């Protein structure tokens, strides 16, 4: 009886989360810790210059909003195509080439305006610091490389190498930022350069498994990877705008309230602790849903989606309680941020984070079921709500926090409605025959 039950129990435990979550989770945890250490080290070193601290906060926000918005969709498409090819026994090398070319094209689109409008961008966002425009370009380049390699690794199921890349990136950020702080460096450019150096080194250390696993195969038509990329980039940019806009809008609207900008970024980082855990879950979830769709496993697809929503909601609730209770005290102690935010501020930010994560799960379902257009419409609706509330006559702090929470909630509701409509239209199937 024992030998009969053990495999069943093992399978049940193994399917509690998508395969590979734990492996990627370790790397994501280190990378998440690195964000806190990097911000804390920079805030400590630059504490005597509030303008430099605010400029670094804005730079950090732009890297992880526009940068991820542009290049994470490339990773998603590479993951989806490679995972589907693995099911059919086709090689992944053509998908790697197509993904690299698409990522390079997006990088050129990002670097061109930075080159042409360097001075206005520096004056508006970085207090006139042209060196931070260069740092932003370097960070974009690093992300463009990293997400191509990660897409191949995730699609092939090489989660160990994927986790190593994330972990090495995080370790390098921790070591470099602490070394700069210990050496008494007061240059915001030096701390910003860490966002370029660490990812590039981690890519160089893990690119070999991706290249070795990407075997020759049938050509990948441009249409297969590019026809939805525009919608995915639009959706991801809006998603990153929604989750990061509080810092940027405060910088633009507040007319120089450097303390509030720094405090809001630190509070968002604390309130979004669950997002670092969710990042590992999201990578393996996309591969799991893509594989189930390619295999036509309707029941497995639906079970995985339901489980993902449940786990994500519980994760967000637990993180939210911790943020509300501990956030106000941790803000100055852990990240050297101004002590000007309350438990209510953290409550709005935590609620928005939970709604945002659930919306991301539902977005993965729309991507893998052929609903990229519906996903873009949902993020557009949420962003519209965010803009209206941000421009409302409410006090500045209230409007940026409430706008974040309300925008994320609207996105989640729109996506849930879109999935329900698709399920009805497809006769209860989660994946349409036409879905890639």
Which pLDDT tens digit goes with each residue over 175-190? 999 999 999 888 899 9
Distance CA 375, CA 383 (A): 12
Q: What is the pLDDT of residue 432?
A: 43
Of residues 267, 271, 237, 289, the one with CA closest to residue 64: 237
- Evaluate if residue 148 carries a pLDDT over 80: yes
- How many C-beta neighbours within 10 Å does residue 420 have? 10
- Evaluate if residue 106 carries a pLDDT over 60: yes
Q: Is residue 393 within 8 Å of residue 356, measured between CB atoms?
A: no
Which residues touch 245 (CB under 8 Å, ≥6 apart)?
Answer: 65, 386, 390, 400, 403, 404
- Only one residue has tokens 């295999």, namely 295
Banded model confidence at residue 104, pLDDT cuts 50, 70, 90: very high
Q: What is the pLDDT of residue 13?
A: 33
- Tell which wins on pLDDT, 352 or 298: 352
When the pLDDT of each residue in the chain is averaged and rounded to a whole number, the result is 81
Q: pLDDT (tens digit, 9 = 90+) per residue, 395-428?
A: 777 788 888 899 999 999 999 999 888 877 755 4
- Only one residue has tokens 């790397």, namely 27
High-pLDDT (> 70) share of the chain, %: 84
Average pLDDT over residues 350-366: 89
- Evaluate if residue 134 carries a pLDDT over 90: yes
Banded model confidence at residue 12, pLDDT cuts 50, 70, 90: very low
Q: What is the pLDDT of residue 170?
A: 92
Banded model confidence at residue 258, pLDDT cuts 50, 70, 90: low
Banded model confidence at residue 132, pLDDT cuts 50, 70, 90: very high
């Amino acid at each position: 009886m024992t030998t009969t039950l053990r495999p069943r129990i093992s399978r049940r435990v193994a399917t509690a989360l998508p395969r590979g979550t734990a492996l990627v989770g370790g790397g994501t945890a280190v990378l998440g810790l690195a964000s806190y250490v990097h911000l804390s080290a920079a805030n400590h070193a630059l504490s005597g210059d509030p303008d430099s601290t605010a400029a670094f906060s804005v730079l950090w926000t732009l890297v992880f909003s526009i940068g991820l918005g542009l290049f994470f969709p490339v990773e998603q498409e590479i993951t989806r195509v490679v995972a589907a090819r693995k099911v059919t026994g086709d090689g992944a090398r053509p998908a790697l080439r197509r993904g690299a070319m698409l990522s390079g094209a997006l990088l050129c689109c990002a670097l061109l305006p930075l080159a042409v409008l360097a001075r206005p961008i520096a004056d508006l966002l970085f207090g006139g610091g042209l060196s931070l425009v260069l740092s932003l370009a370097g960070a974009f380049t690093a992300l463009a490389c990293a997400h191509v390699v990660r897409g191949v690794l995730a699609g092939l199921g090489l989660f160990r190498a994927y986790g190593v890349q994330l972990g090495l990136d995080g370790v390098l950020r921790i070591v470099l930022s602490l070394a700069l702080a210990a050496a008494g460096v007061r240059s915001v450019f030096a701390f910003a350069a860490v966002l370029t150096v660490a990812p590039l080194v981690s890519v160089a250390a893990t690119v070999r498994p991706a290249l070795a696993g990407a075997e020759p195969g049938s050509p990948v038509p441009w249409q297969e990877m590019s026809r939805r990329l525009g919608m995915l980039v639009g959706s991801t940019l809006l998603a990153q705008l929604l989750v990061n806009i509080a810092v940027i809008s405060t910088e633009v609207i507040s007319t120089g309230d450097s303390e509030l900008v720094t405090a809001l970024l630190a509070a968002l980082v604390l309130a979004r602790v669950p997002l670092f855990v969710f990042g590992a879950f999201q990578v393996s979830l996309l591969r799991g849903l893509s594989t189930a769709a390619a295999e036509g496993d309707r029941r497995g697809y639906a079970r995985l989606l339901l489980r993902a929503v449940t786990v994500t909601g519980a994760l967000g609730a637990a993180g939210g309680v911790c943020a509300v209770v501990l956030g106000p005290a941790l803000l100055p102690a852990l990240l050297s941020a101004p002590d000007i935010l309350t438990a209510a501020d953290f409550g709005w930010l935590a609620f928005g984070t939970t709604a945002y994560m659930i919306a991301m799960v539902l977005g993965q379902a729309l991507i893998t079921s052929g609903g990229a257009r519906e996903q873009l419409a949902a993020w557009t609706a949420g962003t519209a709500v965010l803009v209206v509330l941000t421009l409302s006559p409410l006090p500045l702090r209230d409007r940026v926090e409430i706008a974040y929470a309300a925008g994320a909630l609207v996105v989640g509701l729109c996506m849930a409605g879109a999935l329900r409509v698709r399920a009805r239209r497809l006769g209860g199937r989660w994946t349409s025959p036409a879905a890639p």
